[in-house]
Amino acid sequence: MPRLPRLSASVSLRALIPAALFAAFALGTSDRAEASAPAGSDKAVAGQSKAEMKSGSAAREAPKAKPAAWLGVSIADVPAAEIPAAFAPITKEGAVRIQQVFKGTSADQAGLKEGDFILAINGMPLMGRKTLLDTIHSKTIGDIVELRIGRDGKAALQKMALSPRPEDMRSITQMLVGGPAPSLDGKYYSGDVGSLAKNKGKVVLLDFWATWCGPCRMTIPALDAVYKKYHDKGLEVIGVSSESLDELKAFQASGKVGYPLFNDVAKLTTNHYQAFAYPTLVVIDRQGVIQRIEVGAHPQAAIEKWVQEYL
């Protein structure tokens, strides 16, 4: 069985997992678990009496749970019927396909790519994602796993160490900065300007939002003003929401937005961009590279500054 290049069992763990990731990295977007915040020291101190504090018997902060291990990819289920026969043996439950590889993780350094099939782990053919998840969840950070990867009609084995999953899942979003912008999966319901590939040569500002989100509603007028001011200079603003089309059209009818609006009802685009909070603003330069990601409401002046840097 051939092996994918760029990684051997002799590669040190230090090389596999960048130092920045040790402070932080479940497997992928579709399988992410909500990170629960550990008890903070401020809360512990607030519950102490003055006598306890004076005597030095203050309760210590509860220890943080160890970060879970993960591969550093997001995945999607693939039925057996959609997997090339060249990758046999394949179970009737199918396998998974990599949707995204996160920059700086073990998967990235091992050379895994978007579109690769993960067919087996540690010699066990995948019976859907459960086999993969159960195996990963039984391991700890730094453990070596061997994946059977399908790519370009050929299957190969790849060994790699497991990375730590970030405590703050929003840090995954920042890992997209400096990489190519994922495509838009869905359809426009107002102002169709086509795919991101079609908009190369322009600066594109994506706004991941929801009609029920107060900060999103506060940001819309600023985005609309920036769009009108810089559209003729090469700016495209696209609002992306995963709500139902009926809800979005009703909102649009009650207060029109001038820039194009995109319906991501299947949440494929939202998952690709790891938009865990609303609003999430993504600045894409003229070459189609993500240059900035900001979460939360921001004033018009700040948004203008981000855009002007790449116009």
Q: How does pLDDT run across 234-255, given as a tens digit for each residue?
A: 999 999 999 999 999 999 988 7
- Check the CA dihedral 200-202-206-211 and report its sign: negative
Output the six-digit token pair for 130: 């459960």
| 20 shares its domain with 121 | yes
Same domain flag for 148 and 230: no
Q: Which of 116, 139, 164 is the last residue of a domain?
A: 164
Residue range 199-211, pLDDT digits in tens: 999 999 999 999 9
- CATH of residue 109's domain is 2.30.42.10
pLDDT value at residue 10 = 33
Tokens of 79: 């039925």
Q: Which amino acid is at 224?
A: D
- Is residue 141 domain-shared with residue 241, that is, in the same domain? no
Question: Which of 140, 159, 139, 138 lies closest to 148, judged by CA?
Answer: 159
Residue that finishes a domain, picked among 130, 164, 198: 164
The alpha carbon of residue 146 and the mean position of all alpha carbons in its chain are separated, in whole angstroms, by 24
**Residue 84 preceded by cis peptide, ω within 30:** no
Tell me the torsion sign for CA atoms 159, 74, 138, 37.
positive
In a domain, 202, yes or no: yes
Tokens matching residue 116: 């690769």
Q: What is the mean pLDDT of the chain?
A: 80
The answer as to whether 58 is a domain residue is no
Q: How many CB atoms lie within 10 A of CB 167?
A: 17
Q: What is the pLDDT of residues 89-112, one digit of tens each?
A: 999 999 999 988 887 788 888 999
Place of tokens 């030095």: 56
Please tell me whether residues 224 and 246 are part of one structural domain. Answer: yes
Residue numbers of the domain that contains 266: 176-308
CATH of the domain at 206: 3.40.30.10
In the numeric block, the tokens 């810089």 are attached to 230
Beta pairing partners, 74? 100
Burial 210-219 (b: 16+ CB within 10 A, else e): beebebbbeb
Residues in the chain: 311
How much is the pTM? 0.59
Domain-embedded: residue 259: yes
Same domain? For 157 and 180 the reply is: no
Residue 269 lies in a domain: yes
| Residue 145 domain flag | yes
Identify whether the C-beta of residue 192 lies closer than 8 Å to the C-beta of residue 266: no
Cβ-contact 209, 220 below 8 angstroms: yes
Same domain, 134 and 194: no
Q: Are residues 159 and 221 in the same domain?
A: no
Same domain? 29 vs 138: yes
Cα–Cα distance for residue pair 90/118, rounded to 1 Å: 11
pLDDT attached to residue 63: 55
Whether 19 and 126 map to the same domain: the answer is: yes
In the three-class reduction of DSSP (H, G, I as helix; E, B as strand; rest coil), residue 305 is classed as helix
Note the Cα 111 to chain centre separation in Å. Answer: 18
Q: Tell whether 290 and 246 lie within a shared domain.
A: yes
148 lies in the same domain as 27: yes
Does some domain include residue 5?
no
Last residue of a domain, one of 164, 187, 211: 164
**Which stretches of the chain score pLDDT less than 70?**
1-66, 168-170
Task: Answer yes or no: is 226 within a domain.
Answer: yes
For residues 191 and 241, state if they share a domain: yes
Instruction: Specify if 137 maps to a domain.
Output: yes
Domain total of the chain: 2
